[in-house]
Structure 1
Amino acid sequence: MNPLTLNPTSFDAAIVDLDGTMVDTLGDFAQALNLMLADLLPGDAPAARLDAAAIERMVGKGSEHLVKSALQHVQGQMGGVDASVRLVDRYEQAYAGYQKHYAGINGRYSTVYPGVVDGLQALQQAGLQLACLTNKPVGFARELLKLKGLEGFFSQVFGGDSFERKKPDPLPLLKTCESLGTVPARTLMVGDSSNDARAARAAGCPVVLVTYGYNHGEPVRDVDADGFVDSLAGLSWEK
């Protein structure tokens, strides 16, 4: 484990990302996206499937971006297939199908990362208020937290459809701080990607990243952050 020692008197609250930070949801994404693709493709079209490695590079910017990226990726794989099979032109149908399928499998193919519960307990014991802020639609986020037994840690939960803009825009962090009654400089952002770090920097929040999440296929330690941990349990506090 790579521990990071923090001074609890420096913070009043923590904002924690969901996908790739608390829960490994690649299995859920894969199931929903591949069911979506099966609905879109005619019966005589070549089978198209997305694997976890491809999906990992697409995650983190909201469901709309995920579905568009998936369609573009599969369209590229299909190459010279009949022009009538234009997945990228069927975004609205694809998005509706993805939402339907994701609602049916949310949480069934995902797991809580090791150390998450211990890390959240440590944040609470340090006296911090906790909010969950994700680009996942808030309804899916609340249900996932409930299914994984994590909802009790958070006084606030916000998703990609809670505000006018998503991370990496700073607006969601600023609105979350406002809801918590804290100032950004005393509100720790805990995430897994450059999306979280860029949003935190722009909002004026200190930011710590986990090393195991989804950073769009890029090395997470290259991201501008205040620290890195291999597990949320690696967040420790000065006595």
Structure 2
Amino acid sequence: MKRNCLLFDLDGTLVHSAPDLAASLNRRLEALGRTTLDLEAVTAMVGNGFQKLLERALLATGGPLPQAEFEAVNAAGLADYFENATTLTRPYPGVAATLKALKDQGCRMAVCTNKPVAPSWRILEDLGLAGFFEALAGGDSYTVRKPDPGHIKALLEEMGVAPRGAVMIGDSSNDLLAARGAGLPTVLLTYGYCPEGAANLRPDALAESFTELPEILRRLP
């Protein structure tokens, strides 16, 4: 494998987190007297963190809130989500076994997600995945986040890895755009949270299952 530093997105790539995000979001909507949203609707809104998810949900259920009220609702939602982040969230099939195989092959692995650091580590720890990763860059780690390539560049700099030695593995346009801007090839999982369809983004490679990654990564130039 020519590129042995693997950067993974979290939501929609390593774990199916939409059910817990939907539950926390709907508790906030209920408290506001708004209509709750089904899982499919929430899944289509996932990306760019809980604050953006809340903004999208408010627009879909009656419109935005005054800024001060929005900030309070967002803070309550984040606290609720942190407490319940792994009630329903689970790794996708084959994730743990594949990560172990990649680590056994000598790959260095890190997570690059727009979710804040604290709930991201908690999810990985609760689901038994934290030990596979040497670093995690969340949406609150730097002044930028995906799709800004600076998110990936800063993480690689911390790890002491050049872009030519790394690959981004994700599920969305945020992952693809950030990786391309940072000079990394991208593998997109087709099962994730990508309303426009991962294949339509034309990544360097597509995977229908997480277990396909070792072979796909071996073929990347």
Q: Which amino acid aligns with 1:210?
A: L
Which position in structure 2 is the counterpart of 1:232? 210
What stretches of structure 1 of length at least 5 have no aligned partner?
Answer: 1-7, 42-46, 77-86
What is the CA distance between 1:118 and its match in structure 2?
Answer: 2.2
The answer for the alignment partner of 1:75 in structure 2 is 62
User: Are 1:104 and 2:91 an aligned pair?
Assistant: no
Whether the aligned pair in 2 keeps the contact of 1:39 and 1:97 (CA below 8 Å) is no
Report if the CA contact (8 A) 1:116-1:231 is conserved: no
- Choose the corresponding residue for 2:104, options 98, 115, 125: 125
CA distance in 1, matches of 2:88, 2:61: 22
SS class of match (1:208): strand
| 1:70-118: CA deviation from partner (whole Å, max 9, x where unpaired) | 1111116xxxxxxxxxx53332122012112112211101111001112
- Specify the code of the residue in structure 2 equivalent to 1:235: L
**Is the aligned partner of 1:222 residue 2:200?**
yes
| In 1: Cα distance, 2:200 partner to 2:105 partner | 29
1:134 alignment counterpart? 113
TM-score between the two structures when normalised by the length of structure 1? 0.86
Q: Which residue of 2 aligns with 1:179?
A: 158
CA deviation profile, 1:128-177 (whole Å, cap 9, x unmatched): 11001110010000000001000000000121000101101001100111
Instruction: Report the residue type matching 1:199 in the other structure.
Output: A
Give the aligned residue type for 2:6: A
For structure 1, which segment, 122-131 or 175-184, has the greater mean C-alpha deviation from structure 2 after superposition? Answer: 122-131
Structure number with greater Rg is 1
Report the aligned-residue RMSD. Answer: 1.5
Match of 2:43 in 1: 56
Q: Structure 1: which amino acid aligns with 2:181? A: A
**Which structure is richer in relative contact order (CA contacts within 8 A, separation 6 or more)?**
1
- Find out whether 1:39 has 2:31 as its counterpart: yes
How far apart in 2 are the matches of 1:101 and 1:74? 20
Instruction: List gaps (5 residues or longer) in structure 2.
Output: none
Identical aligned residues as a percent? 37
> Using the alignment, how far apart are the partners of 1:201 and 1:157 within structure 2?
20
Counterparts of 1:119 and 1:193 in 2: how far apart (Å)?
21
Counterpart-to-counterpart distance in 2, 1:63 and 1:35? 13
Higher helix proportion: 2
1:162 to 127, 141, 146: 141
1:53-72 C-alpha deviation (Å, 9 max, x unpaired): 11112111122211111111
2:158 maps to amino acid: S
TM-score (norm 2): 0.92
* C-alpha contact (below 8 Å) 1:170/1:200 kept by paired residues: yes
Q: For the residues of structure 1 that align with 2:98 and 2:176, how far apart are their CA atoms? A: 19
In the aligned structure 2, how far is the partner of 1:223 from the partner of 1:185? 21
Q: For the Cα contact (< 8 Å) 1:129–1:180, is it kept in 2?
A: no
The CA deviation at 1:213 is 0.3
User: Aligned letter for 2:123?
Assistant: L
Q: SS where residue 209 of structure 1 aligns?
A: strand
Question: Counterpart in 2 of 1:81?
Answer: none
Q: Secondary structure at 1:36's aligned position in 2?
A: helix
After superposing on structure 2, the runs of 4+ consecutive aligned residues of structure 1 that deviate more than 4 Å are none
1:125 to partner: Cα distance: 2.4
Residue 88 of structure 1 pairs with residue 65 of structure 2: yes
Task: Find the partner of 1:30 among 7, 13, 22.
Answer: 22
